[in-house]
Structure 1
Amino acid sequence: MSNAELQARKNAATPRGVGVMCDFYADRAENAELWDVEGRRFIDFAAGIAVLNTGHRHPKILDAVRAQLDRFTHTAYQIVPYESYVSLAEKINRLSPGTHAKKTAFFTTGAEAVENAIKIARAATGRPGVIAFGGGFHGRTMMGMALTGKVAPYKLGFGPFPGEVFHAPFPNPLHGVSTADSIKAVQGLFKADIDPKRVAAIIFEPVQGEGGFYQAPADFVRAIRAICDEHGILMIADEIQTGFARTGKLFAMQHYDVVPDLMTIAKSLAGGLPLSGVVGRADIMDAAQPGGLGGTYAGNPLATAAAHAVLEIIEEEQLSQRAEVLGQKLKARLETLKAAVPQIADVRGPGSMVAAEFNDPATGAPSPEFTKQVQTRALERGLLLLSCGVYGNVIRFLFPLTIPMNVFDEALDILEEALTAKATATV
């Protein structure tokens, strides 16, 4: 079976709306490496879009899932509950930011977690309004799209969206937006668009994912917390992409000195199995009536088994610390290339949530063209990279935190070749 044959079948059988980046098909994977159906090897710096912080097929996860397979695969937690869901909630409550009483509910996808966080916030406050930020990504469901601050490709042709959702610019000094600008815009919403007493929640990503890996400044997070406290608004931290050691902490909010009321989690929570959750203050989490939260597959027993293993791996293999080591090594390599690659406008990110942003050196304008060339050249040499950003001019690096150092070094060499080869061809 060839990639070309599979591509033809895919085009005939599946809709174009499911965008697929690669034209080759996975056959097997191990830790940070992936092989296609024709036997070609790739180093995986995408990790299923930040889902595989613990790598492909970690033995501890495989063992946990196999053990659960031998017991049962599904009961629907809302019908017949099971201990692994409860004990996982206890662990998340203990490990998440804040010392207050917390509760956790599990779902299946990140978008479900976001939707349910909004439901919980509205139930707890009796208010309809939600404020989100430009460049934020919160999912492809109707509420997820309404909250997402990027039109193409996520919102094209799908409106109208749920009402009472408002956006302010996210602080981004590289693009001329300060914390003061963002907070002024939020305050402006209260003057022009919605009474703050009608706002249930303000939702933001501590580090924007799809938006470009921009980290929320500490003064911005404090200011949002102050606004929430002043007006009785709930702060929701969307940690779907930032969670589980990616930023050098178990959760990105642990980089700040304030605590959110609610937090959404997913992606690397279960090492490749579909699982998400909302964790928050116990009284807020209890606002929804019985039956108001849940889902047929929510908190699936195979996924909860995997999640227990993930948390053990992160602790035993010290993946938060390793995220710092790997991220610093990557950033140092990129910094040394700035002289040879004038398109590199910025290198940033906490831990291993690292990004490089590319601009046209002649005009200073974002350069999605150069970004695509780097991505293509790297893929030709066996390195899988993802782009992001409102302008499509950012490469984000999402390698497994378990990646062997020799494979990591090989990937950095390929990255340098991709950057310098295209730097000489494109100015």
Structure 2
Amino acid sequence: YFLNDDVDGGNLIGCLDKQIGEAAGCEGVVYDCLDMVTAHQGLGISTVDFGDLAEDYSAALDDHQAGLAPNLTDQDKMDIIGILASMAPDIVEDPDNNLTVYQRVGRKPAILGLIGKPGEVDSFVDNVANDAEVNGFFGATNFDRLNTCLTRQVSSIDGPIKYGQEVDAPPMIDEGVNAMAKCLDMCTSHGGLVDDMDMPITINDFGALVTDLVTAMDTAGVAQEDKDALLAALGPLCPQIVADPFSCMFNTQDLVLESLGVNTEIPDNAYNGALDSMLCVDLEVMDDGDGFDTVANASLELGVMHPWVGDLTIKVEAPDGTVFAAMSRPTLPEAADDGTDCCGDSSDLAPGNPVTFVDGGMFDAEQMGGTLGNMQVVCLNDNQCEFFPNKGSAISADEFGMAFGGKGSIGTWRVCIGDSGTGDVGQLVDVRLTLNETDAQFCP
């Protein structure tokens, strides 16, 4: 609870002194800090936590009596501890020591043992040290630091420890870290890491580490529900650890963003490569607090009325400004993405026959309408409705996943359509952008 860099130790000691001093009737001492309920709300302090604190305070009183306060009587000490004990109802939020995984697995002492070090048989790190599949990554490891950081990481899942906010701890506590050498985030600590064969971390390596952790938890007697909770919290870190983040298995859900009945004319022959020369529809993603705020992939469905599909360019812009070209003037071998060349495919688009762009789609967006004649409608007359993106001459990633994978989903997305030919006027009717979101955490 205290070895985090957002704890004001001086203020904490001062307030505790005032609290005990006022309760003990010390002359001139007034407690003017937060009340106990407010000061400890949300900390999840358990009965055993409070008991440890009282025990530490009692030991400090013994030292004080033996040193600076020889006149402090045993009854005085009992009275002071009694005052402290009377505060328990306002401080303890977990009376049965079982409301969090942190408490149920035995708090920091048990987690320290679970993580362990090489030679500490059946601990996680000892399992790793004996695992030929992954031990090549740990040849130059400071195992004191590794034990501390992994312990703090696991303890931070629903416990009081704050990973990355280490302080100068007392001797033999949180070894290997200090205020100037804090535990590193996953991207920094694993970026570019290779084993003794100069191979990067793979999804198989990550799986081996998970197996070693599960084995350690089984040996330690961690309950299944708590193992599941710990793995559920650590699993989303996979994309920050392995060299290929998209090899990870992670939870996903689709967020569908729609603007139906747009019915707005696409500026005729206005496209010059820039988004401001296109008709754009804004789609807003709010933070709903569910943790699914990172994009794994995306797809786009458009309902368009236009008599010359080869005039059209379609782009999507993410909240961070990344622009992806889903289609660029089908069948036209453009010299540049500037709208100057002529002319692409002459078939039509109709809103009743929407076209979809998705990674791995059945047909090439660059060939949209290529088998049709003038006045025939894409999707309706050729049954080709689903296309994989093709950027043409645009500067863009090749796929939605390559463009947007790992980026934040919250903010304003823009779907834009531009026209590069004169005389054939069309409308954007319906827009449906689907974001496949994940709760996994990616590196920038």
Instruction: Please indicate the TM-score interval, normalised by the length of the shorter structure.
Output: under 0.3
Q: Which has the higher contact order (CA 8 A, sep 6+)?
A: 1
After TM superposition, the score normalised by the length of structure 1 is 0.20
After TM superposition, the score normalised by the length of structure 2 is 0.19
